[in-house]
Amino acid sequence: MADDASMDRPSTDRKLLIAFGSRLRAVRDAAGLTQARLAERASLKTATVSLYENGRLSPTLSTLCVLARSLGVPPASLLEFDPAVTAEAVAALHAEVPVPDEWSALTDDHRLLMWKLVQALARRGPSEAEP
């Protein structure tokens, strides 16, 4: 039988991922780097950095250290956050910008492909993306 702490784990893990992603984005922004530049410095794919920042992927300890080194900060600084506050901010943002129900039906691979498509269209700009 699972204890009460383990039953709350998915929710807690998700909050921690969201908080970490927000912190990573804030440190990257403060360093004046784009996701692509950070990815290049850390020998990662830009999509991977995006997944970290959006709380969709958890970095390994070694990747956390590589990210910190690439940002010029101690690894511990990427873990300085209040997950409760960050999770509330993200929840408020999601309430303002609803995610279509169909999104949850997609596999992780399909979500990643859709995210890449959105990023590609955003890079092209509105004049080129319009038919």
Q: Is the pTM of this model over 0.85?
A: no
SS3 content of the chain, % helix, strand, coil (to 5): 75, 0, 25
In this predicted structure, what is the pLDDT of residue 118? 72
- The rounded average pLDDT for each run of 10 residues, N- to C-terminus, in the chain (131 residues) is 49 82 90 94 96 93 95 89 60 59 71 72 63 51
CATH architecture group of domain 10-98: Orthogonal Bundle (1.10)
Q: Where are the domains of the chain?
A: 10-98, 100-131
Nearest Cα residue to 77 out of 32, 19, 35, 23: 23
